Amino acid sequence: MLTKEKVKELVDHMPESFQANELIHEIMLLQKIEDAQDQAKRGETLTEDEFDNEVDSWQ
């Protein structure tokens, strides 16, 4: 989960002037990274072989 502190830190690293969509993109990216880290902590990951098999099943 994002915190105000993390978003403030993100804003502090942005250029002095930026478009709103750039900030939204950065916030969404940060959220996706945090979600992936949480999934990994819960063991919700695939091995490379499992991933390959999953992708192969799409074809």
Per-residue pLDDT, 4? 96
- Domain containing 24 equals 4-57
Rounded Cα gap, residues 52 and 37, in angstroms: 21
Per-residue pLDDT, 1? 85
The continuous run of DSSP H or E covering 37 comes out as helix 20-41
**Number of domains forming the structure of the chain:** 1
For residue 46, the SS3 value is coil
Per-residue pLDDT, 38? 95
The tens digit of pLDDT for each residue in 1-58 reads 899 999 999 999 999 999 999 999 999 999 999 999 999 999 999 999 999 999 999 9
State both tokens at 19. Answer: 């478009």
Rounded Cα gap, residues 51 and 40, in angstroms: 15
Rounded Cα gap, residues 49 and 53, in angstroms: 6
